[in-house]
Structure 1
Amino acid sequence: MKKFFMRGGRLRAGWRIALYLIASLIVTIVGSLGVGLLVGLTIGAALANQGVPNTEISARIQTMFTHLFDFPLLALSFQGARVLLGLGLIWLFRRWIDKREFRALGFQLTNGWWKEFGAGFVFILAMWVMIFALTLLTGAAQISEVGPSLNFAAILGALAFGLGFNLLVGIIEEADARGYILQNLAEGIRFAPAVIISSAYFAFLHRLNPGAGWGSTIGIFFAGITLAMGYYLTQRLWFSIGMHAAWNFAEGPVFGFLVSGLDMGGLFKINVTGPEWLMGGAFGPEAGALAVGVEVAAMMILIWFARRKKGTLVNAGKN
């Protein structure tokens, strides 16, 4: 019976992942409620000190929470809390359940880590320049305005916020999906099926986003494979974090599209006229054939590099 649960003096990979998913769900729910309550009370107290009536305070707080990206500091606070709670949970599991070092997931700060991050960022930024050009050339979208209603300083501030916010998103989502889930799966099964399962998990998480459907699930699934190839190439997460941050940053804050159903604003104001199957509808281009096609091309490029470098995808991911 012990062998069913234990291997090499610790829980088997499947049990570790199951416990992690349960703990992650609890931390997400409790953390969201706790941070939301704390932020709401803080904002409410500040507004009350300014003499704002209680009835108006509730309305303002609700507006802030429902239009989060209109309040950059609030959005960064929530995302920062998500990163701290998520990384804290992963650290605890690595220390006490996995019995491995946290940094061995791919957070080593040895020589060249920032080059890996930069390479991933530039690679996906180039992909998005291609996607944007194709949307304009095919008439699927038109630019209606550049830098709408903002001066130069405000534009820089908006881009800085978009970059910072999506860098935080990249860190925690890569630590979760390509860090803990993928690498623990790869201990129990071969790397290739571990990539498939972890990418399906990544796609499932995005089913909770506004406008999600089967198109978005397919698109996010391929994104998961692409991001997994970044880890495979470098055996660290920095390349994948760079790709993830660049994808969200370019899609929303730069080119003005919806990012996984979320409106982050953008340097360009875009009028999308292409059909849903091509442009993704209410979820954004990630759910459309045009962006998914470019994404698959990026995935194949990375797989080609991975096979050229290592020859096979079946023995990677051991830690």
Structure 2
Amino acid sequence: MDTLQSERVLPSPLLGGIYRARRPTGPIVGLVVVVACLLVGQSVVALVLFPLFGVSPDVLVGASMGLVDQLALMLSFLGATGLLALWIWGKERRPFGSVGFFPAPRVGIHLLLGAVVAVVLLSVPVVVNILSGQLDASAFRTAQAGAAVVALVGFIAQASTEEIITRGYLMQVTYRKWGLTAAIVFQAVVFTVLHGVNTNVSAIGLLNILLIALVLAFWALAEGGLWGVCAFHVVWNWCQGNVYGIEVSGMDIQTTMLDISGAPGSADLLTGGRFGIEGSLLTTAVLALAAALAVIAYRRKLTAMRAR
């Protein structure tokens, strides 16, 4: 199937990238490639960055992280992206950008929308918990603001890598063989399982991770690319850890603009406990609504595409 033909029948331009491959990969091999890139690529870069930055391997098992620790850990994800890029270029013989970074005249709008939506969706459960006395918030830490902004660089590497791997690569290779529904489910399950090894993970936390995967899958399909979901994921993680001072999927980040933590006697079901706000039932409600809206947005975009 040539590129032009595939784009006429595809349910989203995002999925067309795989049809630019001369030697496309299937979903099972694709999963093996993804796991190998994460294990090997991230480990190789970590072996360089950890000694260079003087970082202890304890950060891999839930130890508190200062700015240098956080940057070293987050930047190690670039190794996974690099290996996947080599596979896409060397084996599949297609441009790396075809994974979902297509030229678009409104890239800035997609990035801004992703960032704003992330702040809004995250702030709802945080603010509700603060107003109800479940969470306590400290005064703004002016001295740490600059360092917290620098930490954004690390989350750009980490969150974008996860989007490239799941909403980009896995959705594409799975769609080509098994169809759209399987592609959405497959990437969501893999994304959730990858987070299942995080420190202090909970059942509600895993449910919310699954919901995030569904929200971002339908968002990426509606947009036709990864710009918006990358911005969402980056800002979602950064605001949790470096702005609000809340654990990010169990990661204890110390460089924060605020210090928001559970009040005495607070309920983990509402605050998320040691996993962070991603383990809260309030976040579940917010993400369930966001998932419904993402599905509606995608269906409207699909209807518009078919009407052309």
Query: Is the TM value for this pair above 0.5?
Result: yes
Answer whether contact 1:16 1:98 (CA < 8 A) is retained.
no
Percent identical: 22
The alignment status of 1:272 with 2:283, answered yes or no, reads no
Shift in alpha-carbon separation, 1:275–1:183, aligned structure 2, 3 A: same
SS at match of 1:268: coil
What TM-score do the two structures reach when normalised by structure 1? 0.79
Q: How many residues align?
A: 283
User: In the superposition, relative to structure 1, how do residues 258 and 24 fare at CA in structure 2: closer, same or farther (>3 Å)?
Assistant: same
Cα separation, partners in 2 of 1:293 and 1:10, compared to 1, 3 Å: same
Q: 1:202 to 1:128 in 2, by over 3 A?
A: same
Which sits farther off after the overlay, 22-31 or 294-303?
A: 22-31
CA distance in 2, matches of 1:172, 1:32: 14
CA distance in 1 between counterparts of 2:250 and 2:102 reads 33
Once the two structures are superposed, what CA deviation does each residue of 1:278-317 show, in whole Å capped at 9, x if it has no partner? 222221111221112111212222211111121399x9xx
Output the amino acid matched with 1:168.
A
Computed over aligned residues only, the root mean square deviation of the Cα atoms, in angstroms, reads 2.8
Partner of 2:153 in structure 1? 164
User: Within the alignment, does 1:303 sit opposite 2:295 as a pair?
Assistant: yes
CA deviation vs aligned residue, 1:177-231 (integer Å, no higher than 9, x gap): 1111122111112223311221111011111111013222111011111111221
Alignment of 1:96-135 (within 5 A): 96-135=90-129
In structure 1, list runs of 5 or more residues that go unmatched: 1-6, 45-59
Distance across 1 between alignment mates of 2:58 and 2:26: 43
Partner in structure 2 of residue 230 of structure 1: 219
Instruction: State the alpha-carbon separation in 1 of the partners of residues 182 and 70 from structure 2.
Output: 35
From the superposition, tell whether residues 132 and 95 of structure 1 become closer, same or farther in structure 2 (CA, over 3 Å). same
Task: State the distance in 1 between where 2:53 and 2:232 align.
Answer: 35
Tell me: higher relative CO, structure 1 or 2? Use CA pairs within 8 A at least 6 residues apart.
2
Out of 198, 203, 216, the residue aligned to residue 214 of structure 1 is 203
TM-score norm. by structure 2 comes to 0.81
Alignment of 1:288 with 2:280, yes or no, is: yes
Q: Aligned with 1:311: secondary structure? A: helix
2:65 matches 1:69: yes
Deviations 1:23-62 (A, max 9, x none): 32541474166325xx42x467xxxxxxxxxxxxxxx957
2:299 is matched by which residue type in structure 1?
R
* Residue in 2 that maps onto 1:3: none
- Name stretches of at least 5 consecutive residues in structure 2 with no aligned partner: 1-18
The within-5 A match list for 1:185-200 is: 185-200=174-189
2:40 corresponds to which of 13, 27, 34: 27
Is 1:146 matched up with 2:139? yes
Shift in Å, 1:97: 2.9
Q: Equivalents in 2 of 1:99, 1:223: separation in Å?
A: 31
**In the alignment, is the contact (CA less than 8 A) between 2:247 and 2:275 conserved in 1?**
yes
The structure having more radius of gyration, on CA atoms, is: 1
Distance 1:32 1:91, change over 3 A: closer
More displaced 10-residue stretch of structure 1: 237-246 or 303-312: 303-312
Amino acid corresponding to residue 33 of structure 2 in structure 1: Y
